[in-house]
Structure 1
């Protein structure tokens, strides 16, 4: 058996229902978190051995990730993790910004009081992670906040549409070593977004989310210029 493709954190038991979707999520997290690096080959054989599954769900999972731009499928050569390019980010961020802005506006109309309270609690946890300098924990809770807003929107099409670009965006954020200054700004931006969400001010939430994504893209431009990202 070859080298395991992912650390143990990514290999939790997989439920048998919608097996290929569960497997796709495990692989997606491994790619986003950098356990599977850009350009790395993905062995179907090793994945089958690691997860105790046949090749069929593995191939279906890889097809899903291919549509999300995270995996490249090559005829007779298997699959590999796609490279992160600046051009991809320039295309993905405005799309994600528009979709998240719509989700935020709808969430202000449709969110329950419990969801708004949970968003505030998650933001408090995120600030605590920031104060401790825990980037990984911060990003994890940050994703929970955005997921909550998406769910609160009540629009079932948005999660599917966002998934096609969110993986690339999340991966770039993990790979880029953003400055403490930008991190501080991001926390302040989240404070404004959650304040507007609590007030159910949909137009303001929409505007702030678009600006938040635009600011992330500007910060990533600097990171791309200073690192070995593909351009």
Structure 2
């Protein structure tokens, strides 16, 4: 039997997957009763999960109207990319300037594994691993406030499952992104602060890839 917290987490995951797989679309109201019936749970953990999703920026609560899937404009994604690029560049350069401990071998293993996941079209696994790659660097900076700021900004995004449209563009974009992960690793190992900052901010978080964050 799941405890209360894990039950709320289970509902949270179910709803976020519904958004990711486009069963729930931006602007669509969320039917709480339908979720209760689908998961055979009471309204309490569903409401707790919805409130958490609201705090995390995936949905919004409408006065006296329940909850709705939140949409995000391409222009806002561009803005967020620019901010995250600057903050992640700060995290990475702080890490190497202060010579904080970081496992480069583990980062390299992640990059290799991400290549394999891309070719296998295992996109969920790829996104999870690339999150861990970035998070490992951010946490190595030792700056908890910076970690929280970046985390809050990234909560504006929720990945949709790949649906098959524009396959070549999507696949090539992921391959290029992972090549950039390897370049970030090389620059960190070389302790090239200037080039590392420029590469993360201007190349890796270039807003031309913002389309991959969009739920349409």
TM-score, reference length from structure 2: 0.74
Q: Retained in 2: the 8 A contact 1:68–1:165?
A: no
- The counterpart of 2:202, out of the listed 211, 216, 219, is 211
Provide the C-alpha distance between the structure 2 equivalents of 1:206 and 1:29, rounded to a whole number of angstroms. 33
Unpaired runs of 5+ residues, structure 1, are 1-12
Q: Retained in 2: the 8 A contact 1:100–1:209?
A: yes
> Who is 2:112 aligned against?
124
Provide the C-alpha distance between the structure 2 equivalents of 1:110 and 1:77, rounded to a whole number of angstroms. 52
SS at match of 2:21: coil
Provide the C-alpha distance between the structure 2 equivalents of 1:25 and 1:212, rounded to a whole number of angstroms. 33
Bigger mean CA offset, 77-86 vs 192-201: 192-201
SS at match of 2:68: strand
Higher RCO (CA 8 Å, separation ≥ 6 residues): 2
SS at match of 1:207: helix
> Who is 2:129 aligned against?
141
> Who is 1:16 aligned against?
5
SS at match of 1:73: strand
Unpaired runs of 5+ residues, structure 2, are none
Written as runs of structure 1 = structure 2, the 5 A alignment for 1:62-141 is 62-108=50-96, 109=98, 111-113=100-102, 115-141=103-129
- 1:16 CA displacement: 3.2
- The counterpart of 1:220, out of the listed 192, 210, 215, is 210
Cα RMSD, aligned residues only: 3.6
